Structure 1
Amino acid sequence: MTLLSDIADGVQDLAGQVQAFALDPADAVRLLLPLGAYRPTVAEGGDAIGLAMTGVQEACSALCRRAALAALARAVAAASLPTYDEAVALRERVTALLEAEIVIAADAYDDASAAALRGLRTALARLLSERAGSLPRLRTVEAPAPMPALVHAYRLYGDLSRADEISAYAAAEDPNFIGGTFRVRGS
């Protein structure tokens, strides 16, 4: 093993450990999204050493981002998405990260990485689009007066067990006073 392959293996292992550390694939997605967008401040220098340092920093950050994007793809594939709207939002966010990395790889003349990232983007977009098609959409609810989440759950679904879900979607500070306009999962 060489030092470079050890570093690459370590970075990939770290991204995999972040994914494995999360108890839920949705948490893994939340943790890996910022890592997939990692862009360090590059110290630039005009001399040969400064240019070499810049090249090393860019290569290391690309390695870190790509390892995080690979782990993110695995987490997205394992994630259970509750609504169409959340699946579409995740698809847009993940494909935007992949598109940005495709541009970086293409600008660095790394055609193999750009092609692999394009394939990953296409596969994830297709997967999330297929999943989204069978999921309920979010709908807007207007409550004229604040009411407890239990009341909303019964009125909207006839199911008191969905009160916590309504509190979460309404981002309620107190589940006993949910009013105004908020979004909930359809049926």
Structure 2
Amino acid sequence: MTWRDMYRSASFRGATFKVESADSAYGRRQAVHEHALRDVPYTEDLGRRAREFTVTGYLVGENYHLERDTLIEACETPGPGQLVHPYRGELTVVCRGLSVSETSQNGGMCRVSITFLEAGEASYPRAVTDSVNAISRAGNSVISAAQAGFVERFITDGFPGFVLEAATQRLQVITDFLGAPGGINLAGELEAAASFSRALRNLADNAMSIVQQPEQLASRLIDMVDLASDAYGENAGALFVGLMEQVSAPYGGLTNTPSRRQQAMNHEALNELVRQVSLPAAARAAVSVDYPSYQDANSARQTLVELIDTEMERTGNDEAYVTLGALRTEVARGIPQPEVDLPQLIEYTPPATLPSLLVAYKLYGDASRADEIVSRNKPHHPGFLPGGQQLEVLSDG
């Protein structure tokens, strides 16, 4: 394209004017240090200087004075505005000064000279909560409280063999789910998956002996959850939500003897430990996800908050209750992370049946985002998005 093709009619905040010449100033900011008894100065670079645009032009016509007043008002309005520069295109600027020259010799017109500065943005230091570490710290407190409560309640020593067997079977249910959670695939590094598989197999093979040592059992389960987080990667959150569902059903056996009551207590204690260790892991996974939209992040947060609320209602461990409350606060505050500006989901209705490629281009100027629209809306055929039917799309177009 030639310069004539790119030439634009000038305006500022919608107030138009004719242009005779346009000057621009660029460069760097420097501080020159000239020290006593030193012949060689030192010039310190302080960054790029604000770009300055000076436009000289005129307004002409029977009603030029109305256009003049509109331009004066535009220049006296506080804050940045949009300048359509004849040679530079659209710029966000502030008006530094406007001079108007009128003479009786040249009636029906005025000459104007306007100086603009690029608006830039106000950047001030601000405190930002480290959501990842805050959730991790709160989660560690939950795990410590859960471990202490479990060791106090879980006992197999001194009871009949069926108490030990029942606890072993319960542990095997947990390890079976971790190994094959149904539809949730390993998504971490290969080495992490291998380490997880070895540790899980070792825990399952030695379940009966480990169950007889409550402290070791708690420690091994905590380690398994950490290894599972790495092995399942981006699918870890779904894994732990599923695991919590596996250990949420109340004990349904007999409790008519001391041994049966201990069997029931062991069942509940093991379930509670797994839930209270899985919750922090699910929270750590959720805060690290790159959510496509604010609504997706909000849904994940709401799911976690509800799970924590349920656990707080059912636990009899006072320390766990307090630490779960602290974790809930950090989850509500940190998901999505405050410094992340996520697009919103909005509704868009195609005016006619269109291919997803064309809809993506119309919305975002990027046809490659068609898969995103198809994935979210699941039409019968990506080549035919029905006209008149609402679609969910992201607002960042």
Partner of 1:34: 242
The amino acid across from 2:241 in the alignment is L
- How has the CA–CA distance of structure 1 residues 17 and 55 changed in structure 2, closer, same or farther, with 3 Å as cutoff? same
**1:14: how far off?**
2.1
Contact 1:44 1:51 in 2 (8 A): no
Q: In the TM superposition, what is the alpha-carbon distance from 1:4 to its structure 2 partner?
A: 0.8
Which digits, 9 at most, give the CA deviation of each residue in 1:61-84, with x for residues without a partner?
Answer: 001111111211211121111211
Amino acid at match of 1:100: T
Which of residues 333, 344, 348 is equivalent to 1:141? 348
1:6 corresponding residue in structure 2: 216
How far 1:133 moved relative to its partner? 7.0
| TM-score with structure 1 setting the length | 0.87
SS state of the match for residue 349, structure 2? strand
1:173 deviates by: 4.5
Q: Quote the offset at 1:123 in angstroms.
A: 0.6
Secondary structure at the aligned position of 2:381 is classed as coil
Q: Deviations over 1:145-174 (max 9, x none)?
A: 443221110111111121111111112353
Worse-matched range after superposition: 11-20 or 120-129: 11-20
Structure 1 CA distance for aligned equivalents of residues 380 and 230 of structure 2: 31
**CA–CA separation in structure 2 for the residues paired with 1:81 and 1:7:** 35
The question of whether the paired residues in 1 share the 8 Å contact of 2:312 and 2:324 is answered with yes
Q: Secondary structure at the match of 1:147?
A: coil
- How far residue 43 of structure 1 moved from its aligned partner, in angstroms, is 2.4
What pairs up with 1:19-98 in 2 under 5 angstroms?
19-24=229-234, 27-37=235-245, 38-48=247-257, 49-98=259-308
Greater helix content: 1
| Structure 1 consecutive aligned stretches of length 4 or more whose deviation exceeds 6 Å | none
Structure 1 67/39 Cα, relative in aligned 2: closer, same or farther at 3 Å? same
> Please, which runs of 5 or more residues in structure 2 have no aligned partner?
1-209
1:161 is matched with which residue: 368, 377, 391? 368
Q: Which has the higher contact order (CA 8 A, sep 6+)?
A: 1
Change beyond 3 A, Cα 1:61–1:132: farther
What residue identity is the alignment partner of 1:36?
M
Larger radius of gyration between Structure 1 and Structure 2: 2
Question: For residue 183 of structure 1, what is the amino acid of its counterpart?
Answer: E
CA separation of 1:146 and 1:58: change in aligned 2, threshold 3 A:
farther
Question: Gaps (5+ residues) in structure 1?
Answer: none
What value does the CA root-mean-square deviation take over the aligned residues? 2.1
TM-score (normalised: structure 2)? 0.43
Point out the structure with the larger strand share: 2
1:176 partnered with 2:378: no
